[in-house]
């Protein structure tokens, strides 16, 4: 049974500081939910209020480095309605096509007992009496395959930033050592088209409109990002992009701008 309990000991919940909490090690975590307030009123983490960046660290490795705005956009991409004052962080992904697929990406810390699990939350300035409460969703089970062998399928999240001009721009700086589930772009001047060439083979070539329409056909909301490259749009965990030698992502930029590419990589440990 999944348990939903409060995280105690969250420090420094003050505008302009970094709040930190240590979560209980040795559990299988399915996610965290942050409830945010301004004064006593629920307040959304939008328009640069309440929370900026969140970092999730296991041992000494930062597994996720993501903004509150990106977390809300991921929920919108997957048609999850988020109430005001709530910020859901998913490890097990409820949009997956099966229960097995959902739980496959849980953070199974039972396999590394005693390893610290820390959350760091950058509290933004300009918020009156900000408040954060964290609820952890967990159980005591272990991820095992059909042969009863423990496994991990951890979704890492981090952003790549690139200054681009108008027109076609190649992004070749993406790490190709692990499966890539999604590359989610935020761009102030927009992206009108994307081309993805993996190991010399074209695997994606759609305009922004075509891509949004395709994602909509599969129950996703592409407009949540300026361009959402969703390689696992079937919601099967096994449909992530695997790369042997090379990856070129070419986007057509709507103007001179800084692109933010939130990259979701799936790895088989907490140490990569």
Which tens digit of pLDDT belongs to each residue from 128-156? Answer: 889 999 999 999 999 999 999 999 999 99
Query: Which residues have a Cβ under 8 Å from the Cβ of 214 and sit 6 or more positions away?
Result: 206, 222, 233
| pLDDT per position as a tens digit, 190-212 | 999 999 999 999 999 999 999 99
pLDDT of residue 47: 59
Q: What is the mean pLDDT of the chain?
A: 95
- What are the Cα distances from residue 195, in Å, to 71, 211, 248? 25, 11, 8
C-beta neighbour count of 219 within 10 angstroms: 12
Q: Which two tokens stand for residue 67?
A: 């903004």
pLDDT of residue 48: 65
Q: Percent of the chain beyond pLDDT 90? A: 91
10 falls in which pLDDT band (50, 70, 90)? very high
Let me know if the fold of 3-151 is the same as that of 156-267. yes
Say what the pTM is.
Answer: 0.96
SS3 205: strand
157 falls in which pLDDT band (50, 70, 90)? very high
pLDDT of residue 172: 92
- What are the Cα distances from residue 142, in Å, to 67, 90, 108, 155? 29, 18, 6, 17
Is the pLDDT at 106 greater than 70, yes or no?
Answer: yes
Is the pLDDT at 44 greater than 90, yes or no?
Answer: no
The domain made up of 156-267 is a member of CATH 3.30.70.120: no
Q: How far apart are CA 24 and CA 90, in angstroms?
A: 17
**CATH T-level assignment (fold) for domain 3-151:** Jelly Rolls (2.60.120)
pLDDT of residue 12: 77
- Backbone angles phi and psi of 79, in degrees to 5: 60, 40
254 falls in which pLDDT band (50, 70, 90)? very high
Domain range annotation of the chain = 3-151, 156-267
């Amino acid at each position: 049974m999944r348990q939903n309990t409060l995280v105690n000991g969250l420090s420094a919940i003050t505008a302009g500081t970094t709040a930190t909490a240590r979560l209980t090690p040795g559990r299988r975590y399915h996610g965290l939910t942050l409830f945010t307030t301004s004064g006593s009123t629920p307040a959304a983490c939008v328009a640069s209020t309440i929370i900026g960046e969140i970092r999730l660290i296991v041992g000494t490795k930062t597994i996720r480095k993501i903004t509150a705005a990106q977390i809300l956009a991921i929920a919108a991409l997957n048609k999850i309605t988020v109430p005001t004052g709530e910020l859901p962080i998913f490890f097990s992904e409820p949009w997956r096509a099966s229960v097995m697929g959902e739980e496959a990406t849980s953070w199974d810390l039972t396999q590394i007992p005693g390893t610290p699990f820390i959350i760091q939350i950058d509290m933004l300035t300009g918020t009156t009496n900000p408040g954060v409460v964290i609820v952890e969703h967990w159980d005591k089970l272990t991820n095992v395959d059909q042969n009863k062998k423990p496994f991990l399928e951890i979704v890492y999240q981090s952003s790549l930033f690139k200054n681009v001009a108008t027109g076609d721009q190649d992004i070749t700086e993406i790490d190709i050592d692990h499966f890539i589930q999604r590359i989610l772009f935020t761009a102030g001047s927009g992206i009108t088209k994307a081309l993805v060439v993996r190991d010399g083979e074209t695997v994606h070539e759609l305009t922004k409109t075509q891509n949004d329409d395709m994602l909509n056909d599969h129950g996703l909301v592409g407009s949540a990002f300026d361009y959402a490259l969703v390689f696992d749009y079937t919601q099967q965990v096994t449909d992530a992009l695997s790369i042997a030698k090379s990856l070129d992502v070419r986007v057509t930029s709507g103007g001179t701008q800084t692109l933010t590419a939130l990259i979701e990589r799936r790895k088989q440990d907490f140490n990569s």
